[in-house]
Structure 1
Amino acid sequence: MNNRKEKDMLLEGKNVVVYGAGGAVGSAVACGFAQEGARVFLTGRNPDVVDTVRKEISAAGGAAESAVVDALDEKSVTGHLDAVVADAGRIDVSFNAIGISPRGLQGIPLAELPVDDFMRPVTTYAQAHFVTAQSAARHMIPQGSGVIMMHTPEPARVSLPLVGGMSVGWAAMEALNRALSAEWAQHGVRSICLRTTGMVGTPVIDVVYGLHADALGIPVDQFTAAAAAMTHRKRPTALAELTAVAVFLASGQASAMTGTVANLTGGLIVD
């Protein structure tokens, strides 16, 4: 990081809040934001996990602070953002990377899935993303700029079996992304969603692929290979690829992009 000239940093002087910063996606993107000069405010429900990410960023020469925030709790989110703005003066990017455990939610046929388990990802993702986006926009609209960002995997768009209510929840996020842009882009607040394949090697996908392989009665390596084969390039999205695009989309170089989904599925989905 210290070898980069400040003028080359895409996010120099930007203040970024990351929700779910202790997860694989949240932590990787937060580190990418910090490497490009942003001051990163890391949040999550597990203070030890989030603080580990803060220490990693600080050790690399970046600026980061951590706090316990529940993205589903409006008071928790608004209180934290008010404190961030009071300290930093503004909020430039809000990236929500929260996730929920797939256990008991995926790998189960819809005909056998309890209603509560079907609805959990739908309500969780819709509520958390609305709460964090709305809270950020209340600061961004008066300042005339800002970026709201979220991440979905490919079942938000393609029909895949045994994903339960997850696909509905992710599709709702992409619809929310478009709705936010329709109202807020005119005030300088962009809304962007990044869509990837499952990212092999991340803890959540290791569990997900295991659940699906078990449900289909095949080895997990066979399921993983089949998933990769569905893409044009025959390999899944890498976490580093998601991070690089997230940094670009958060920067002023992507100022014309809003209300859209950045397709990083490697050809699995063709627009």
Structure 2
Amino acid sequence: MLLENKNAIVYGAGGAVGRVVARTFAAEGAHVHLAGRGKAALEEVADEITASGGLASAATVDVLDQDAVEAHVEAVVRGAGSVDVSFNLISLPQTGIQGTAIVDMTPAGFDLPMNTYPKANFLTARAAARRMTSQGSGVILTITASPSRTAVPLMGGMAPAWAAIESLSRGLAAELGPSGIRVICLNAAGMPDSPQLDEVYRLHAGAYGISYDAFHARMAERTLRKRLPTIQEIANVAAFAASDRATGMTGTIANLTGGMIVE
């Protein structure tokens, strides 16, 4: 198994993407520490993992509260012995954020992703890195989406926030590499099996005056495979990137857009 005997923290583990990643990590042998603000959702995922024979623990953590983040990571290390993988998968509702031209946005609408995603990733990565440094090993994963690297309208502050996370990931990789810590950012296209994508595509479709299906087809057509990646495809790559089979990878933005971006 790819992650046998690894302790992995997954933030936002109660969400659509987080729960698939958590289940995949557990199936690969990791003890998954589920973190987020929705206690019921986290416990549901933990029950799913343990029912399948995996190891999972759940804790309510506000990723924008540095003391809460630090206390949780310290508790994981104290109880499990290490933190080997940290993956921040938090998300925000996108109504009021996407689907509006930047010149028509309110400052609050533009600021929300800018003040949430980079800060949350900074706090969780910093907490993990402090413990991983003393261990001499560890993997920090982040996730962004294709608009961070392309010119896409109606994204508001989301594209700048994702670009900031990618820059943060590179900086962390440069600083932490000598301590044996790898940092990899996964850049994905929209995942059609995610409820958030349904919300996002409806916002964009409405702005263009077309149907949801028409906008979805337009985005799928932009990929080389003519279909968007699934959550499970993203989770599979995340498990590999977090494993010892990917030790040659750090400081990179892994392209999981299905060819929407070609490099």
Q: TM-score, normalised by structure 1?
A: 0.96
Aligned to 1:154: 146
2:9 and 2:103 mapped to 1: Cα distance? 39
Please state if 1:71 is matched with 2:63: yes
Shift of 1:239: 1.0
Aligned to 2:131: 139
Shift of 1:153: 1.1
Q: 2:73 aligned to 68, 81, 95, which one?
A: 81
Aligned to 2:98: 106
Shift of 1:143: 0.7
Percent identity over the alignment is: 51
Please state if 1:117 is matched with 2:109: yes
Aligned to 2:183: 191
Please state if 1:263 is matched with 2:249: no
Aligned to 2:33: 41
Aligned to 2:51: 59
Structure 1 runs not aligned, ≥5 long: 1-8
Q: 1:166 aligned to 144, 150, 158, which one?
A: 158
Aligned residue-pair number:
263
Aligned to 2:167: 175
1:197-208 aligned at under 5 Å gives the runs: 197-208=189-200
Please tell me the residue identity of whatever aligns with 2:226: K
1:66-99 CA distance string (max 9 Å, x none)? 0000111101100011111110011000000001
1:171 and 1:25 mapped to 2: Cα distance? 20
Aligned to 1:28: 20
C-alpha root-mean-square deviation of aligned residues, in Å? 0.6
Shift of 1:201: 2.2
Aligned to 1:5: none
Please state if 1:127 is matched with 2:88: no
2:232 and 2:86 mapped to 1: Cα distance? 19
1:19 and 1:79 mapped to 2: Cα distance? 14
Q: 2:224 aligned to 218, 224, 232, which one?
A: 232
1:42 and 1:146 mapped to 2: Cα distance? 17
Aligned to 1:213: 205
Q: TM-score, normalised by structure 2?
A: 0.99
Please tell me the residue identity of whatever aligns with 1:238: T
- Corresponding residue SS for 1:55: helix
2:10 and 2:186 mapped to 1: Cα distance? 15
Shift of 1:242: 0.5
Q: 1:50 aligned to 27, 30, 42, which one?
A: 42
- Corresponding residue SS for 1:17: strand
Q: Would you identify which runs of 4 or more consecutive aligned residues in structure 1 move more than 6 Å?
A: none
- Corresponding residue SS for 1:164: coil
1:269 and 1:167 mapped to 2: Cα distance? 15
- Corresponding residue SS for 1:201: coil
